[in-house]
Amino acid sequence: MSVENSLALYIQEKVTEALEKIVRLEKEEIYAYSFLYDYEDGDNENWPVLVFSYNTIEHYSKKIPEKCDGQDSRSLLGFLSSIDEEGAESVFDLLKPDELDVKWNYTYWLQNSILEVGTKEDTTGRELVEKWTRALGLYFTEDELAKNMEACLERGKKIREHFVEVLVGVVRQMHKHHELSVPVIVHNFEYHKQVAKQNLEANGQNLSREFVEWIERKWA
């Protein structure tokens, strides 16, 4: 088994364990999962990590800053369950732009990390990440960074791109094996067209449609 496959399999196994710990009631409230890719040591892209979490309709409804068609945000759950407007494929089609920001921008989410892969506490994951970056020929030391920052930053960019590819592959396997009815958003703290593209690839058009349309409207 290749190093990349070993890392992907490890992430998939850990995520599966995390999914099984979420009680059924929470699963019914979840409208999206998050695969946030970040870095263990500040901005050091040599050490990418995965933070797995989710957001719920209940939390989303509490975060909406404005009224929704005359309904106070505190009563949005009732609004979402009762509305039936012709031509709307989803109740979220009826939301205002600022409400879509609340739905899809991770800033407003629960940020309830249920799993972190590749951190110092996750020694197995961290070792796999290092083996993976070395196998790619992209790993760099602190000395190399100090001597040639530009070259190391370029390596870091490639590490990020490859890590996203691994996560996209894991999400596709999650949909295959768990038949998820909601998207698993692969992202960091910035949203742009590449993020839309990678989520189309990870989740397919139907599950990623609302998220992708939100990005396209915001950053066309």
**Alpha-carbon distances, residue 49 vs 79, 96, 104, 128, 151 (angstroms):** 38, 33, 21, 11, 21
**Residue whose tokens read 């703290």:** 189
**Pairwise CA distance, residues 138 & 134, whole Å:** 6
184-187 and 30-39: which strand pairing?
Answer: parallel
**Pairwise CA distance, residues 66 & 73, whole Å:** 7
The structural domains of the chain, with segments of one domain joined by +, span 3-218
Question: What backbone phi and psi angles, to 5 degrees, belong to 114?
Answer: -105, -5
**Alpha-carbon distances, residue 32 vs 56, 105, 146 (angstroms):** 7, 11, 40
Q: What is the pLDDT of residues 159-199, one digit of tens each?
A: 999 999 999 999 999 999 998 999 999 999 999 999 999 99
Q: What is the pLDDT of residues 10-48, one digit of tens each?
A: 999 999 999 988 877 678 899 999 999 999 876 788 899
pLDDT at res. 99: 83
> Percent of the chain scored above 70 by pLDDT?
83
**Pairwise CA distance, residues 82 & 64, whole Å:** 18
More confident call, 27 vs 123:
123
Q: What is the mean predicted confidence (pLDDT) over 147-157?
A: 93
Dihedral sign computed on CA atoms, order 193, 196, 201, 204:
negative
What is the value of pTM for the model shown? 0.84
